Structure 1
Amino acid sequence: MASTQDVSMDGSLVDYAPVGSSTTTLSVHNEEETGITVPVGGNEPSGRYILVAGRADEKDGVRLPIPAGVLKPGITYRVAGWISLGAGAAHGTSHPVRIHLDVDDNGNETLVECGAMCAQEGAWTEIMGAFRLRTEPRSAAVYVHGAPAGVDVKVMDVRVFPVDHKARFRQLKDKTDKARKRDVILKLGAGAAASVRVVQLDNAFPFGTCINTSVIQKPAFLDFFTNHFDWAVFENELKWYHTEAQQGQLNYADADALLAFCDRLGKHVRGHCVFWSVDGDVQQWVKNLNKDQLRSAMQSRLQGLVSRYAGRFKHYDVNNEMLHGRFFRDRLGDEDIPAYMFKEVARLDPEPALFVNDYNVERANDPNATPEKYAEQVAWLQRCGAVVGGIGLQGHVQNPVGEVICAAIDRLAKTGVPIWFTELDVPEYNVSLRAKDLEVVLREAYAHPAVEGVVFWGFLQGTMWRENSWLVDADGTVNEAGQMFLNLQNEWKTDARGNVDGDGNFKFRGFYGRYVVEVTCTATGKQMLKTFTVEKGDNDTPLLVDLADA
């Protein structure tokens, strides 16, 4: 693939140009001590950077051209490198810096989002951008801009290169084995002579999807949901604006019906959500309340919802999207109100795990939603006395890159709090690319020991919030993306067979989950069936299952 070679800064100003105000200038500098920690196999920073100075506007920056013919449609590209802030930024501060691809597509110039970060003064922040084009551009350039006017921006070692998903999947194989499997010894007793067949009935790693009152009436949805998902979450039916659209007029009928539906099918349910922090998602009558009235309404919501469904939900998203909204904190003038919400939900119903839930954290494209800010939010809640039982990554992902997703999960895993993908969809009009994108996200989630489940935000054509995300066509046909999901579910189940060894044991390594074993005596042909469960444990200690007395 010679046409997709790396495009790198060569440490000179040749072909690079300032963008924006006439005062914007470029110069080349060296930094001997970058402070950048590079993973094994990563690219060592050169220490040579371009300084973008004299910026009179946030849009002022630098343009890094990409040779014609390099970028091809349908390929996911990474934009890598490092960004720092220079003069004009107060010591230790951070500001958003954005990366776009400036594309000339047959005379139509467009900006394609490639990522964003909170760049810091005195430190280097990694660019973890990505993009994919539908057509081959006539010309293109990486455009780095952002940070307030008057703040210098340092740009080091920018590279554009195609993502090798297959190489990443090979790297994940061992990681998956360590995170999701265990050695098992089936003991039949010395002298036993028998053949053994071990079949995994289900995987311990849960998958779920959102549901609503209309979609569960569709046979195509019902069939796929029943057979391939363990969990559900209500799309809108539990949200405050649904259960109390008008003040004092409570409607829990839809939520009750969906709970009864899940109970009949034996599906676990997430509670989404008790409150929503984003101003635009709060119903008008709530916005019209004064401070005392809002506090009273909030308490009534807590008491009414959580008490009504005590013991019914396994999870609660307590105050949705706090990285992107501050409605209750601002209206009540109380910074600690989110922690109060957590503590009150736990008081009224101590059973469910209580989650934070937000978007863009795994995409490296939103300075408001960096993994660092999300981890600090969790730590802040904990300092305020809240017990955070889960971190929700919504997972509305486009052009996913495994290393970018993994880096976000790694940072959040340091909190010690379990992580779930809570609203996964991968919008892409080309269903083959959609299948590849879905595989990227699912393999990263499954391979990471901190991730404990994945919930899709729907899967049926014509019923989803995000277009071009469906896995099953409206007529029930499983498309290529849906088949990828089913293939992975099959891949993550163990099927082992063979003969008992001389010590009367049968050994295999299996994914966590529930199993059935069929033992056939060699001499008599007599068969024995037994179920058992492989649970997570010390990977250095095999699980012993005694079949001698079965």
Structure 2
Amino acid sequence: MDVLFFLLPFVVLIYGDTELLKNPDFESISFSGNWVCQACTLSRSTSSYHGHHSAKITNRQHSWSGIAQTINVLPGQRYVFSAHVKLLNMAQGHMFHKVEVMVKETINGHDQYHDFGDSPKVRTDNGWVNVGFDLKIPNNLHQIYLYIQIAEPEVNYLVDSASFKLLPYDANWKSEANARINNIRKAPITINLHNIHGSGYQVEIQQTKSKFAFGSVVEANKIVDSSYHAYQQFFYDNFEWSVLENALKWRQMEWSQGHPNLDKPMRAVNALRAKGVKVRGHNMFWGTHGTHPDWIDGMGQSTLIQAMHTHINDVISRTRGSLEHWDVYNENLHGMYFEQHTGHPNISMEMFNWIHQAEPGVKLFLNEYAVASSSQMTTAYKQQAVELKNAGIPLYGIGIQCHTNSHMDITSLKYRLDKIAEAGLPIWITEFTVNEANEALKANALENMMTLFMSHPAVEGVLLWGFWDGQLWLPNSALATGSNVQPNAAGRRYQTLFHQTWRTHVTKSVTGNTVHASGFMGDYTIRIKHSGQTVKTQHLTLDKGGLTVTVNL
């Protein structure tokens, strides 16, 4: 509930007040001059998400047949669309249907069609599903044509509670973000000193770890191979969380059935934990093309489910107590392998339950792309998290992959974080890259996005998807280069944020019996010094609500 408390005022500020759709709630008796139906029949229904009526779309003739409206817009401005859709039937042989929110732009007489918002796993038993997107209008465009389509024409559906509003740019976003950081990431520290004799006392308050997670992916072999000492040193000097790049993925771990190689990932996990680094598990299952073991292809449904159970047991039996998180079913809005091959449309829910039963203490996550760097599945991702949460599934948090560049629009990114945070669950930026060859642009973009993440009350941590150009998926996203792993401009900017800007290290002279300070939440070492010599040391943790400690000298 803490997330929702802080989030609400944050969300309200970003929307425009004026509704640009006509008859957005479908309460008007007449559709004349507002909604139209493209090669379909539009009528009213008394089944509604909100209010008393919704729009009913039937007799669809084509995949693109659906409800539509023309909207006047301002060139260069950002807008947000949202609606609720309910399928009335399923096409024969389909486990899911994809609801697409389309926009037609007519520029210089040429029509351009864009799929801005996808909800790829919609079923009748989902009930009302939130769909939508955000977009920026081209500079020479004054009007758009927005419509909803489902590829299978035989599918009928309802629409309700639609909205299309301006998403205003906030020129003061960064100062506001920094104010939020001070408000939500810091807490007061009070140190009461007893038995002080004389003067010359100082209190040194030094943060040793951050509650907000700063981390990076690592390559399992390189993090333990002594010939990569510079790679290891840069990591340990600049990060407190980690995730293995490939070594815990099922395909890479078990090329041959019955021969999982858990020695490789566990060597890395044990080395990281020995250094005090926390480790995320990435990932238990992955269903996009080419990401599962080849040997499960062709298995019958029951045999595949048994193989999945065996995989969970093989992994958890070795990792139990070593990992903080698991990405349960990676990118499952983009890949449906396990749904299709087990015949279970809700197999993702079962995966969460299976892993939770095997290790109740580990925190379980969704993890997805095209939800922050683009708006294509932002709303669908929020909807999925809400459905899992409402079903009582042991979902702890929402993982966001954010692979972007220096042109990322902060206003749009801020909106997408807010949208996903509507699920009321913690958010982790699990894969963050700024792919930019220009080092100055990369440094500025990295600082801006890290500031936004740090300032968002739902976000608990950020993990980079690599830092060294010698081991990186996107080389232009490197923070450090060369055999000596030397920081570039973006790397130095990150180091400033991590070691200085968002780190507390203060020394205060004692003038009475009490010392007051404020610090970023995390672990601390408190040293009481007299005439420059340490006379008392205590290790403490600063969390919400602050810390009051009594030190007897």
TM-score (norm 1): 0.73
Among 441, 460, 469, the residue aligned to 1:452: 460
The 3 A distance-change label for structure 1 pair 236 and 146 is farther
Cα pair 2:84 2:160 within 8 Å, conserved: yes
The 3 A distance-change label for structure 1 pair 54 and 115 is closer
Provide the rounded CA distance (Å) in 2 between the counterparts of 1:357 and 1:283: 20
Provide the rounded CA distance (Å) in 1 between the counterparts of 2:267 and 2:74: 56
Provide the rounded CA distance (Å) in 1 between the counterparts of 2:134 and 2:234: 35
Q: Say yes or no: does 1:512 pair with 2:492.
A: no
Among 238, 242, 246, the residue aligned to 1:232: 242
Cα pair 2:192 2:550 within 8 Å, conserved: yes
Note the 1:333-372 alignment, pairs <5 A. Answer: 333-367=343-377, 370-372=380-382
Amino acid in structure 2 at the alignment position of 1:426: V
Q: Deviations over 1:218-257 (max 9, x none)?
A: 3442221111111221111111111222323333342233
Note the 1:313-462 alignment, pairs <5 A. Answer: 313-367=323-377, 370-379=380-389, 382=392, 386-398=393-405, 399-413=407-421, 415-462=423-470
Cα pair 2:117 2:132 within 8 Å, conserved: no
Task: Tell me what 1:129 maps to.
Answer: 135
The 3 A distance-change label for structure 1 pair 380 and 245 is farther
Task: Tell me what 1:80 maps to.
Answer: 79
Q: Say yes or no: does 1:531 pair with 2:538.
A: yes
Specify the SS of the correspondent of 2:477.
coil
Task: Tell me what 1:477 maps to.
Answer: 486
Q: Deviations over 1:417-467 (max 9, x none)?
A: 332111122223333232233223322222233322222111111422235
Q: Deviations over 1:294-326 (max 9, x none)?
A: 122112212212112222222111222222222
Specify the SS of the correspondent of 1:184.
strand
Amino acid in structure 1 at the alignment position of 2:380: T
Q: How many residues align structurally?
A: 481
The 3 A distance-change label for structure 1 pair 544 and 223 is same
Note the 1:107-146 alignment, pairs <5 A. Answer: 116=117, 128-129=134-135
Cα pair 1:98 1:117 within 8 Å, conserved: no
Shift of 1:387: 1.7
The 3 A distance-change label for structure 1 pair 142 and 473 is farther
Q: Deviations over 1:189-218 (max 9, x none)?
A: 487643333232332222221122454353
Specify the SS of the correspondent of 1:373.
helix
Provide the rounded CA distance (Å) in 2 between the counterparts of 1:413 and 1:38: 9
Q: Deviations over 1:330-367 (max 9, x none)?
A: 22222343333223222322332122222222345214
Among 188, 196, 199, the residue aligned to 2:206: 199
Provide the rounded CA distance (Å) in 2 between the counterparts of 1:434 and 1:100: 33
The 3 A distance-change label for structure 1 pair 244 and 128 is same
Task: Tell me what 1:43 maps to.
Answer: 16
Provide the rounded CA distance (Å) in 2 between the counterparts of 1:420 and 1:241: 24
Percent identity among equivalent residues?
A: 24
Among 261, 265, 275, the residue aligned to 2:275: 265
Cα pair 1:361 1:408 within 8 Å, conserved: yes
Provide the rounded CA distance (Å) in 2 between the counterparts of 1:178 and 1:316: 30
Amino acid in structure 2 at the alignment position of 1:480: A
- Specify every segment of 5 or more residues in structure 1 that has no aligned partner in the other structure, as ranges: 1-36, 68-76
Provide the rounded CA distance (Å) in 2 between the counterparts of 1:160 and 1:40: 10
Among 166, 171, 175, the residue aligned to 1:170: 175
Cα pair 2:103 2:146 within 8 Å, conserved: yes
Shift of 1:158: 7.4
The 3 A distance-change label for structure 1 pair 198 and 96 is same
Provide the rounded CA distance (Å) in 1 between the counterparts of 2:19 and 2:73: 20
Amino acid in structure 1 at the alignment position of 2:272: C
Task: Tell me what 2:257 maps to.
Answer: 247
Shift of 1:511: 0.8
Task: Tell me what 1:73 maps to.
Answer: none
Cα pair 1:38 1:44 within 8 Å, conserved: no
The 3 A distance-change label for structure 1 pair 526 and 320 is closer
Provide the rounded CA distance (Å) in 2 between the counterparts of 1:103 and 1:461: 41
Q: Deviations over 1:268-295 (max 9, x none)?
A: 2111111113344223321221112212
Shift of 1:410: 3.9
Task: Tell me what 1:33 maps to.
Answer: none
The 3 A distance-change label for structure 1 pair 241 and 460 is same
- Specify every segment of 5 or more residues in structure 2 that has no aligned partner in the other structure, as ranges: 1-9, 23-32, 40-62, 90-96, 120-127
Cα pair 1:435 1:484 within 8 Å, conserved: yes
Task: Tell me what 2:93 maps to.
Answer: none
Cα pair 1:114 1:129 within 8 Å, conserved: no
CA RMSD of aligned residues (A): 4.3
The 3 A distance-change label for structure 1 pair 78 and 371 is farther
Shift of 1:378: 2.6
Amino acid in structure 2 at the alignment position of 1:241: R
Q: Say yes or no: does 1:186 pair with 2:195.
A: no
Shift of 1:53: 5.3
Specify the SS of the correspondent of 1:468.
helix
Amino acid in structure 2 at the alignment position of 1:242: Q
Amino acid in structure 1 at the alignment position of 2:335: G
